[in-house]
Amino acid sequence: MVFNIGSQQGNINNVAGDQTIYGGQHGTFVSAQTVEFAVELAATLRRIGMGRAATDADAVQHELEQPQPDREKISERLIRIARAVNAVAGAESAVHRPLVALAQWLGAFGSPIVGMLG
């Protein structure tokens, strides 16, 4: 018997025999691209001399690599970065794309960031 299964995301269980799940299954999916945005953000911030903001971006990357990333913590860091970027370079800076992408990943927690950056 052959199974051809396309791309999947979320909880995937491969079990032999029966499986019973009580209370549902929950997981957080962080794509490699999301982590890459945090890496790009930190690198760009360092390149333009915003070391403190880059440190916040490093913390975002670290949080994204956790089994259950804390979206509220990430949001707090990205808000600080967005404020610093707006103060220094405005919304058209090189950090705009990765910052907006990370904010969008946050969902409701990212709304204030997206609003700040337009």
CB burial string 41-67: b at 16+ within 10 A, e below? bbebbeebebeebbbbbbbbbebbeee
Residue 23 lies in a domain: no
* pLDDT over 80 (residue 75): yes
Residue 65 lies in a domain: yes
Residue 3 pLDDT class (50, 70, 90 cuts): low
Residue 84 lies in a domain: yes
Residue 32 pLDDT class (50, 70, 90 cuts): confident
Residue 85 lies in a domain: yes
Residue 1 lies in a domain: no
**Domain ranges, residue 107:** 32-117
Whole-angstrom distance, CA of residue 72 vs CA of residue 48: 26
* pLDDT over 70 (residue 1): no
Q: How many CB atoms lie within 10 A of CB 71?
A: 17
Residue 19 lies in a domain: no
Rounded to an integer, the average pLDDT of 75-90 is 86
The pLDDT of residue 117 is: 78
The pLDDT of residue 85 is: 84
Domains contained in the chain, number? 1
Residue 61 lies in a domain: yes
